[in-house]
Amino acid sequence: MPKKHLNSKPASANERSVIRIKDLEFSYPKHEPVLKIASLSINAGERIFLFGPSGSGKTTFLSLLAGILTPQRGAIEILDSDLVKLTSAERDRFRGTHMGYVFQMFNLIPYLNVVQNIMLSAELNPERRKKITVPLEEKACELAVSLGLDSVLKKQVTQLSVGQQQRVAVARALLGSPEIIIADEPTSALDYDHREKFLKMLFEQCEKSGATVVFVSHDRQLESLFDRCISLKEVNSA
């Protein structure tokens, strides 16, 4: 699919928004606003590249999308639920059920093996577990094999290469077919060829489940691989 830049093409009538932001404003205590976003919409199945320099508020934006942070004003509607109106516990359940998060440093549990790390996302969230119709370990192994991890299933993640750890983090995020995958610069430790290979693998897996991808980076070399590119600086008036 060819790349589209911000606001280059209006959404067609048959496209369904899974993320809608309206009049968002967020600031940390005793600081000026970090983010002011009047309007932003992301459609189901889109692969979004959100870029901006270090310190521009990218990670803060992802934390708001995930319901880890809440804004001082505005609405963040995800899958028709306004995260701002949910309690902290409700946001935690919503995130665990509907979102897969790939962290920059992967956040794997060092004393667990590959399969155990992958299963963790479903073990911690009963609603995520209900989406899986086969035994959990079987599904975790299936995902791992599809990502080329068949030879390391029982190894502790500390024994893996960076690229292998990255794929474990992706498998964990994908387990249970969450509707939205959020990725916070997970390719920063890789060279361009490996970054491109990783993204194609991620997109292939997300296409199978119909997941929407919101990928944040400062590295604009990657933008041609995405459906649409959004400059945080352009949508943020803070």
Instruction: Please choose, from the candidates 159, 155, 58, 160, the residue with its C-alpha nearest in 3D space to the C-alpha of residue 104.
Output: 58
Instruction: Tell me how long the chain is.
Output: 238
Task: With beta carbons less than 8 A apart as the criterion, state whether 219 and 21 touch.
Answer: no
Confidence (pLDDT) at 7: 40
**pLDDT (mean) for 122-144:** 93
pTM of the model: 0.88
Map out the domains of the chain with their CATH numbers. Answer: 4-12+44-67+87-235 (3.40.50.300)
Average pLDDT along the chain: 89
Give the pLDDT band (50/70/90) at residue 89: very high
pLDDT > 90 fraction of the chain, expressed in percent and rounded: 69
Weakest-pLDDT range from 5-9, 32-36, 150-154, 232-236: 5-9
- For 164, other C-beta atoms within 10 Å of its C-beta total 18
Confidence (pLDDT) at 9: 42
Query: What's the CA dihedral at 170, 217, 82, 27 to 10 degrees?
Result: 130
